[in-house]
Amino acid sequence: MEDYTALISAHTALRVLAFPQTDRDIPAVATRVTALSARASAVFVTGLRPSESTALQEAVTVAAGPLVVTELDVTAAALAAAAVTTLHARRVRPALGRVMVIGADAVPRLGSVLGRVGVATVTSFDRREAHTIQLRRLMSFHDVLIDLIGTSSAQVAPGRTVNLPADLFDLTALVLPGLLSSLCGHDCRVLTVDALAAAARAIALITPAGRIRPDPHHRLLASAVAQHVSGTLAKENTS
């Protein structure tokens, strides 16, 4: 939590308050988050399982609480950006790209975000014990593999595999400052897939050729994400 507090403070003008929680009773947590409406424009939540993250967001939205952004939401945007840059490295346009995701339920919004950034085909493969030979055969029909559960070997799709890092912060730090700045600036109460896709496109655009991710210390990273997300939010508000 300290890493995120420092990150947001360093790269945004937002005031950050940390509220450590150990309770996994989602209705109780949702009640406490909703009670923050008068004090917080947005609440960033870490450490929840996928089903818990979704349930918390739904409960707070129904109760007219503040915007809830989860660690897995931000992870989805960062992974989608990495998929796009990997496609670019292979000289494949996203509109023709084919991405296979192993363990898609680990990051619930990833498939939707990949679709919104323009990836033509997204295939989910949820089997936990896939054999290398089977995955190799499947990857002969796909351009990029996103492995969210660490089942694939390095030989399955060398040079075109996106994995989760040991610490999600390495991914989420690319997205969070710019995304939160824009969402709070527009007084959003619900995080849309389009906003996450806009963040992913911004990260992909700022990533140097030949790399999967940009330098997390790039001085224009947060502002680029904020500008792309703000452009999307402005269109949503006028439609």
Boundaries of every domain in the chain: 2-73+172-234, 74-163
Q: By the 8 A CB rule, do 109 and 148 touch?
A: no
pLDDT for 135 = 82
* Residues linked to residue 43 through DSSP beta bridges, in sequence order: 68
Q: Is the pLDDT of residue 29 over 70?
A: yes
Q: For 94-152, what is each residue's pLDDT tens digit?
A: 999 999 999 899 999 999 999 999 999 999 887 665 667 678 888 889 999 999 988 77
Distance CA(83)–CA(86), nearest Å, equals 5
Choose among 97, 239, 50, 77: nearest CA to 172.
Answer: 77
pLDDT for 138 = 85
pLDDT for 210 = 87
Confidence of residue 235 (pLDDT cuts 50, 70, 90): confident
